[in-house]
Amino acid sequence: MTSEHPSHLAASLRRRGWLLSAWPWRALAYLVSTVPIAGVLTVGLLVVGAPLLPVVSTLRRQGRPPSIALMLFLITGSIILVALAPIVSFAVGVVERWRVRLVDNRPLPSSPWPGLAARYRSAATWREVAYLFWLGGFVPVAYWVFLVLVLLDVGMVTSPWLAGDSEPVVIWQPIESTGEAVPYAIVGVLLLPVLCYGVGLLAAGQAAVARWALTSPVDAAALREVARSRTRLVGAYEAERRRIERDLHDGAQPRLTSLTLQLGLARLDVPEDSPAARPLAVAHDQARGLMVMLRQLVHGIRPQTLTDLGLAGAVRELADAAPVAVTVHADIESALPEIVDTTAYFVVSEALSNVARHAGATRAEVRLSRVGGDLVVEVSDDGRGGADPARGTGLTGLADRVAAADGRLLLSSPPGGPTLVRVELPCRR
Amino acid sequence: MSPLTRVVLAEDEVLLREGLVALLTRFDFTVCAAVGSAPDLLEAARAHEPDLVLTDIRMPPGRRDDGLRAAVALRAERPGLPVVVLSQFVQTGYAAALLDSGDGQRVGYLLKDRVAEVTEFVDTLRRVTAGGTAIDPDVVRQLLHRPRDPLAALSAREREVLALLAEGRSNASIAARLHVTEAAVGKHVGNILLKLDLPPSDDTNRRVLAVLTYLRADPVG
């Protein structure tokens, strides 16, 4: 969301010209539509709180204790209502999530009905129940206070007209004449925008509470689960690539080499003028072409340097191929999980090619280290900095790769440099 | 070359190992041992003291660079032991590790594909056994295409000459290849050595230094 179009009421309040925008009206609509819902809930709340009333009155009058039958009746009603609250709160939640759109453009989706038992078990349900009590208990009180203020202001603004009547108008003190009322009227008019902002603040506060109470935390758990399964998937995919690379390298490639060698040997003993010489030469050439092709294919499946040299060696190899001077500090001894190896390799590869393409650097440094359970990869250069993921320097794709491995990528690249890319990859086995 | 060059061969894939044995035997090498893993290679080389070790890089038990490490270890035990390693793909690091072992002479680093060029492959083996150095043209090309300052000073023709030098060719062979006189090649080589005589500043120049090491080591195959 840009600041040009605030996505919700609270954000809009900080903008100039708020009073002239649609927001105050949206806030008002939100408050007004709250009234019937809060009203119904207040009645329910009074029933829940009913058993307290005889107790309170008894204490005040020091009279007879309330009858047992009455108390039992009230308490039963109270318990039944509390027990029904999770069901009521579901319906209210659906309505409230829809209604909050009046002052908030960010969607707040409702989950489908989860079934009765599940409804009573989830923490989100009881958050909604708490919201129910808040909406029926606290909100009406706040509205009354605000309504009193509004009526007071209306009285002040209209006091010059009312003061001429027989009855004196009472604001703080009795006002007898129109002349006395004028200062009150002026203050009243000045307070009008303040009240408008009050409407905005009230609605914004209420919407914030609604958003907090009605956002189901289920989503976060689901996201974590998705991330985990994605990591598993990427890991499995990586292991599969490695297996294919191995099978080709250890099986197909040497056999093809052997075949080509045999053809080469055969050509030595076949005289040039023999009818077999030409097809044999063609076969030999084709086999050689196939060897080159297979070699490129295997390298594309997985960098073989990684398989043979491990991460540190493969990174040194990358550093050697870079057009700027690169120093490598590798402080990793134990073997890393497949996905960490590969991700780290691509991070360094991409970061170094960025250095070559954009940074205008003369030297770069790659650091591999273990910090706690993480592998930390740092690539720094002395270039001009100002690397911006939004400008498509391959950093975004890199971040995606890192995220798939459940890691995170940090970038520091002030204009004028130096640039540092830091990637942290968890090494849980 | 004596007809009795004794070779220890290491290659884990059986078919290729047998093919190499057939090739070597046909060209009058004596294969003392043909093994399939790095420890066996070490054992066989120590037992037979061959004139040449020919080994694959990626071999059991680790299936990484075990063959290469065995070769480097053998060179450390017997400086000057001719070693040719076969690599499935271009890997400058391997070439450097090999060239760094000993004085950079009597070593060969070849792509496995070269095995298919039977006669050239055998020539390379003979050159290394006789004290030369042979680096695969693809590896040399990768080294020369790096925009490193010392190499940037070379003219296109000098690069060509350097590439052929790195393959371990003699001046005469280069002259024939480039259709120039041998004297012209000598002049190019002189210029190259003059231009490249720079102290290496850091680790990143190690590869280039490796090429230089054997370039300075009288490259007359």
Task: Divide the 221 residues of chain B into consecutive groups of 10 and give the mean pLDDT of each group.
Answer: 82 94 94 96 96 94 89 91 89 74 80 91 92 80 56 74 75 87 82 58 38 40 29
Given a cut of 50, the residues of chain A with pLDDT beneath it are: 1-3
Q: Which of B18, B57, B89, B146 to mutate to test the interface with A (most CBs of A within 10 A)?
A: B89
Which residues, in sequence order, are CB contacts of A155 under 8 Å at separation 6+? A162, A169, A171, A188
Tell me whether residues B16 and A254 touch, CB distance under 8 A: yes
Q: What is the pLDDT of residue A60?
A: 73
The span from the CA of B147 to the CA of B160, in Å, is: 16
Element (H, E) at A331: strand A325-331
The span from the CA of B22 to the CA of B11, in Å, is: 13
Residue in chain A nearest B66 by alpha carbon: A308
d(CA A227, nearest CA chain B) in Å = 32
Question: The whole model's pTM is what?
Answer: 0.54
**Any chain B CB within 8 A of the CB of A277?**
no
Q: Where are the alpha helices (DSSP H) in A177-276?
A: 178-214, 218-247, 253-269
Of A258, A268, A328, the CB nearest to B118: A268
Q: What is the pLDDT of residue B216?
A: 41
**Any chain B CB within 8 A of the CB of A321?**
yes
All residues of chain B having their beta carbon less than 8 Å from the beta carbon of residue A310 are: 64
Of A260, A309, A319, the CB nearest to B65: A309
Ramachandran category for residue A385: left, alpha or beta (phi over 0 → left; psi -120 to 50 → alpha): left
Q: What is the pLDDT of residue A359?
A: 73
Q: What is the pLDDT of residue B155?
A: 79
Tell me whether residues A325 and B117 touch, CB distance under 8 A: no
Tell me whether residues B116 and A317 touch, CB distance under 8 A: no
Q: What is the pLDDT of residue A224?
A: 66
Tell me whether residues A308 and B112 touch, CB distance under 8 A: no
Strand order in the sheet with B107-111: B29-35, B5-10, B52-56, B83-87, B107-111, B134-135
Tell me whether residues B116 and A264 touch, CB distance under 8 A: yes
Residue in chain A nearest B65 by alpha carbon: A308
Which residues, in sequence order, are CB contacts of A270 under 8 Å at separation 6+? A276, A277, A280
Tell me whether residues A265 and B204 touch, CB distance under 8 A: no
Tell me whether residues B115 and A257 touch, CB distance under 8 A: yes
Q: What is the pLDDT of residue B210?
A: 42
Q: Shortest CA distance to A320 belongs to which of A331, A333, A305?
A: A305
The span from the CA of B87 to the CA of B91, in Å, is: 8
Q: What is the pLDDT of residue B220?
A: 30
**Any chain B CB within 8 A of the CB of A289?**
no
The span from the CA of B124 to the CA of A81, in Å, is: 94
The span from the CA of A367 to the CA of A356, in Å, is: 18
**Any chain B CB within 8 A of the CB of A308?**
yes
Q: DSSP secondary-structure letter at B167? A: T
Q: What is the pLDDT of residue A89?
A: 87
Residue in chain B nearest A287 by alpha carbon: B116
Q: What is the pLDDT of residue A183?
A: 83
Q: Which of B113, B141, B145, B207 to mutate to test the interface with A (most CBs of A within 10 A)?
A: B113
- What percentage of chain A carries pLDDT values higher than 90? 21
Which residues, in sequence order, are CB contacts of B140 under 8 Å at separation 6+? B162, B163, B166, B167, B211
Q: What is the pLDDT of residue A221?
A: 61
List of E strands, A26-183: 169-170, 174-175
Tell me whether residues A295 and B88 touch, CB distance under 8 A: yes
Q: Shortest CA distance to A131 belongs to which of A101, A76, A88?
A: A88
The first and second tokens of residue A408, run together, are 């995170």
Tell me whether residues A258 and B91 touch, CB distance under 8 A: no
Tell me whether residues A263 and B15 touch, CB distance under 8 A: no
Q: What is the number of other CB atoms lying within 10 angstroms of the CB of residue B159?
A: 17
